[in-house]
Chain A
Amino acid sequence: DSGVTQTPKHLITATGQRVTLRCSPRSGDLSVYWYQQSLDQGLQFLIQYYNGEERAKGNILERFSAQQFPDLHSELNLSSLELGDSALYFCASSPGGNTEAFFGQGTRLTVV
């Protein structure tokens, strides 16, 4: 158990819909990262938050947004969903600096 909790584990939704993925980082970790893993793109960095503030953006679509709350949990919002958004979405946390990131179990999103 990495200590990072993601909910839900599985999500099936229709095209055009909006979903929210939730992540609770390890106790004490200030950094939260979101990654997308798809068959054609591999593991791609989406966005990072550090202590409530956006720190870095990767290949995140405009239809996607995220935030980190004062209790440090984070949510990734995906809207106007398309079939190609079907993927495994990971949240990872780290205390900061050049340390390892610990991953949650992921949320498997299926858009039908």
Chain B
Amino acid sequence: AQKITQTQPGMFVQEKEAVTLDCTYDTSDQSYGLFWYKQPSSGEMIFLIYQGSYDEQNATEGRYSLNFQKARKSANLVISASQLGDSAMYFCAMREPSGSARQLTFGSGTQLTVLP
């Protein structure tokens, strides 16, 4: 079974509008971390936001917020006031404390295009 599922291969949003990118995850651990990364066409992976499984409040970083619904196992990324520079691939990832490893498992990504 997929550990991280991103069901939207592509999304379009009008500049200055808000957009939500979906992410669901599957884990039996109680302690885990959820991450979102942005990959522009230049290729680098840019860390955006982190949510710990025990965090009671949704994480926010500037225009990015994470809508964390633990019971539904979802961790959607909300980008407010979209900008043209937000056009990129967005990846949701999870880190589980399996033994001493701390690697990330990534979803397949969502390609976001911001329209002028």
Q: Are B97 and A98 in contact (CB under 8 A)?
A: yes
Who on chain A is nearest to B100 by CB? A55
* List of B residues within 8 angstroms of A50 by Cβ: 100
**In the bound complex, do residue A88 and residue B103 qualify as a contact, i.e. CB atoms below 8 Å apart?**
no
A contact residues around B47 at 8 Å (CB) = 2, 100-103
Query: Measured between alpha carbons, how far is A99 from B102 in the docked complex, in Å?
Result: 9
A58 touching B37, Cβ below 8 Å: no
How would you classify the secondary structure of chain A's contact residues: helix, strand, loop or mixed? strand
In-complex Cβ contact of B45 among A48, A56, A90, A97 (8 A): A90
Q: Tell me the B58-72 residues at the A interface (CB within 8 Å).
A: none
In the complex, A102→B35 CA distance in Å? 11
| Cβ A56 vs Cβ B103 within 8 A | yes
Task: Decide: B106 and A105 in contact? CB cutoff 8 A.
Answer: no
Is the pair B43, A45 in contact by a Cβ cutoff of 8 Å? no
Q: Could you give, for residues 33-67 of chain B, a 1 whenever the CB lies within 8 Å of some chain A CB and a 0 otherwise? A: 10101000001111100101000000000000000
A110 to chain B, nearest CB (A): 13
Interface string of B86-116 (1 = CB under 8 A from A): 0000010001010111111110110000000
Q: Is B31 an interface residue (CB 8 A)?
A: yes
Min C-beta distance of B87 to chain A, whole Å:
19
| A10, chain B: closest CB distance, angstroms | 10
In the complex formed, the residue of B with least CB distance to A58 is B103
- CB neighbours of B45 from chain A (8 A): 90, 92, 103, 106
A108 within 8 A of B: yes
Task: Write out the residue numbers on chain A whose beta carbons fall within 8 Å of the beta carbon of B33.
Answer: 98-99
Convert A84-100 into 0s and 1s, putting 1 for each residue whose CB lies closer than 8 angstroms to a CB of B.
00001010101011111
Please indicate which of the listed interface residues B100, B101, B103, B109 has the most CB atoms of chain A within 10 Å of its own CB: B103
Indicate if the CB atoms of B100 and A98 lie closer than 8 Å: no
A90 / chain B contacts, CB cutoff of 8 Å: 45
Tell me the bound Cα distance from A58 to B105 in angstroms. Answer: 10
Q: Is the CB of B44 within 8 A of A43?
A: no
Report the separation of the CA atoms of residues A36 and B3 in the bound assembly, to the nearest whole angstrom. Answer: 18
Contact of B44 among A94, A96, A97, A105 (CB under 8 A): A105
Closest to B107 in A: A42
